[in-house]
A and B are shown apart, each in its own frame.
Chain A
Amino acid sequence: MRRAAAFLGTAALCLNPISSLVVLGWLERQARRSVLSRWWEARTEPAVPLDDFLAASDPAGGRLSPFFSGAKALFNTYVLTLPGCVLWLFAWYDGWNNSFDKGYEQAWVAPVTGLFGTALFAAAMLYVPLAQARQAASGEWRDFYRFDVVWAVARTKWLSCASLAALYAALSVPLFALRSLPSLFTLGQAHPGRFLLGYSYLACLYVLAACAAARLAAARVYAAGLLELVRAGELPPERLAAREREALGRLGLLRSEPPAPRHVLLRALGWAGTRTGLTLSTTGALGCWGAFVFLIFASQFFNFRPRSGWLNQPFVQMPWFRLRPFDRITR
């Protein structure tokens, strides 16, 4: 009952961009606890109750810490994803302006800009979900940019990363519907602001649940991948973040257990299989992110939102969803 009430209350925070940062901070904390729980499941040391382990490894912060944690997470995510989003905005704006004016000579500009923006975003998203999980696990904003560690995890868990991309794409289908449906409504026209507030809140219930699912899935993938690298001796403890090193040490998981040597033929086959798998999964993941972007464009056709429609994707950036009615002043 308390959890349900907390969930309903947290969903309301998703209606505003500032309060959604608090939600993002909360999601960071849940991701961190998910990573720690995954490691606890794999422990080799005598059992410490999970709650005690979590309390020791993830002490509660100050009252404002969720907000600052969320702000730091958002900033880092925007560094890598905002360029693609901005290019979409300008591609759409310029493309349709050019089309209206029949500027045949510049017809290529908008599609190329849009495709380039999509490529940038998709490439960033091969990295960002795991980087977000890393930042959540370590609690340090700088660890988001440890490309060597994050990319090593991605390469180790290539199939899981492709599945993660598919999950994001699948979760974005209901979001597309939620964004687009008001185009078809005849309800709520008398009091559009009030109607849309209620509608947006109901949508936020989905957005919050889906954001949590996506972030927790990424956290599990990161936790499993990092542990695998540590155990295989491919990631020495000194390259881990301090909190990661401490938590893994408490659980006796810092010992590396290099795999038994294999026949050179088996090693070659394994290498080839991994390379093929990596290529295929990267292609698959890029395809899923392409589908994710396609749904953004499609929802803009049905229900155009000039700025937030491009510059904030709730599952990736701020978990913020709010539709607003027509404002005659801005017409």
Chain B
Amino acid sequence: MQEIAKELLAFLIHYFQTSDLIVQVAIIIAITCAFLTFVAYCTVFYLRIYYARIDAKRKNLKNAVEELLAIMIADEASFFEGSEESIRKNISAHFKDINLGNRFNRDTLRGEFVLLLDQLGGSSATNLKKVYYVLELHKDLLRDIHRKRDWKIVSSALHDLGLMGIQSAKKEVNARINDENAFIRQEAIVAYVHLNPEHPFDFLDNFNQELTEWQQLNLFLALSQNPFATVPEFKRWLLVENEYVVDFCLKMVSFYNQLESVPELLHLVAHANPEIRADNYYAIQKLQADDAVPALLQVYELEPIPLKLDILKAFGEIRAEETRDFLIARMHDPDFSLALQCAVSISKFPGWGQQYLEELLPYAGERMRKIILHALDKRIDVLVV
């Protein structure tokens, strides 16, 4: 075999040396590809073994931790009552068999705590956070924030610190509220809400960055999932310069039915940004703010079709008498969607709405007939937006 291999190698070298440049280049590329394929094959096999080992280690640790935590949470009296010092001793003693000096173990524990926190509420969740703090699992994260530049590590650290309510992380969190990196910024603002339950949105006073819908969603969840958080009056930020903040607060005003925000909503009817105006119209609709009707009637014709639809939907919810003639007139709008929405809004008026449409039906042309029948059919539009 060795002889054959030597001869083969000699032949290949001779072939390479006597070939044209093109063939030499092809041989080099071929050998490189073969080598890299071999490396890729080996990597695939190695990864299989590596992940299997890691998963097994993690599973064992998770099982052990779950048992320990279940005992602690079930027997709160033994572990969480008494002096601060005795609580610390009890918790540390309970975890003595787990090597907390190992970073892998601590990382696994942190992940397990975050998962468990999702399933717990009330005092159990509070106790879980206490255990996390006593075991000093937050210290790695505080170090990571200082030392690491990788946004994933920093944002992940902020995420966990906020979720676990680590008050000593406040300074780091505050420093990153306006971070240019969107992921770090997101976790910082969410952590702020977690760590400041009495004034969870004070950071909006100085917030000067973009707030995407995803970030807004995370902020909302941080607020709604924290039973200790105080829901602020979002009207405080409805007229700030940062349009992203205005947009977020409009959504919150709608969700929390903050009727006291109506004067600010009236002000926003004239906002330059159509997306803000759209959310504003939705807020007006949701709050059934009839004070806004005259303003909406004024701006209607100036709006593009999608925003006109939002105004018409608002009229359907507010059901103010002063919109009656307006809606009737616009049932003949050349745009089908506007005409249809007018009819649907009219059908929501108690008393005269349905009656008017039914009376109009026999005299309606084909287009109007379709619109009226749709508006009168309560089996349609059962999904409420």
A binds B: no
Using CB atoms and an 8 Å cutoff, list the residues of chain A in contact with chain B.
none
Interface residues of B (CB under 8 A from A): none
